[in-house]
């Protein structure tokens, strides 16, 4: 099954969506949803993420050109680069817990987006953005919306993902 998150820009306006692949069956369902979204709103942006690189690979084969992102758990970033390169992913979605400035800067220096999860305080969101993060997932978009970051900063809500 898949799970979706609305992506909001720094002003709190809808900027796209992130779909998380949770099971093998979700690949075809999410691909069909993305096909329908592309038909209805050709300028829309979607990013498909998963902790499971096999599901991301399957999505990449099912729907070439789909933006992919590798989700990682706290402390599980040791082999991020090889997995992201193998998948052709555009971003890494690391857990914010334990995420360091050095790691954010390393990932960004190689041209990948960094969208940390789950960031529920304004102070941590600002810190991550100051380090170069491109976005955050939050359960509190009403509190974090309107971050003054410019560039490609985004707040993403995980409402309904639990």
The average pLDDT across 5-20 equals 49
Q: What is the pLDDT of residues 66-75, one digit of tens each?
A: 999 999 998 8
* pLDDT single digits (tens) 97-131: 999 999 999 999 999 999 999 999 989 999 999 99
- The H or E element spanning position 137 is strand 135-138
Question: For residue 44, what pLDDT is reported?
Answer: 82
- Residue 15 predicted with pLDDT over 50: no
pTM value is 0.79
Burial group, residue 115, by CB count within 10 angstroms (0-12, 13-18, 19+): buried
74-94 pLDDT, tens per residue? 888 888 999 999 999 999 999
């Amino acid at each position: 099954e898949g799970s979706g998150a609305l992506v909001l820009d720094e002003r709190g306006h809808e900027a796209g969506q992130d779909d998380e692949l949770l099971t093998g069956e979700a690949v075809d369902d999410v691909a069909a949803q993305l096909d329908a979204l592309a038909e209805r709103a050709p300028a829309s942006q979607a990013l498909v993420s998963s902790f499971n690189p096999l599901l991301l690979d399957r999505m990449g084969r099912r729907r070439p050109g789909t933006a992919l992102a590798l989700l990682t758990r706290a402390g599980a970033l040791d082999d991020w680069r090889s997995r992201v390169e193998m998948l052709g992913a555009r971003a890494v979605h690391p857990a914010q817990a334990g995420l360091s400035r050095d790691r954010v800067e390393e990932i960004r220096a190689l041209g990948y987006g960094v969208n940390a999860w789950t960031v529920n305080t304004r102070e941590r969101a600002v810190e991550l953005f100051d380090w170069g993060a491109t976005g955050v997932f939050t359960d509190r978009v009403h509190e974090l919306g309107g971050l003054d970051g410019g560039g490609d900063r985004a707040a993403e809500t995980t409402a309904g993902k639990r």
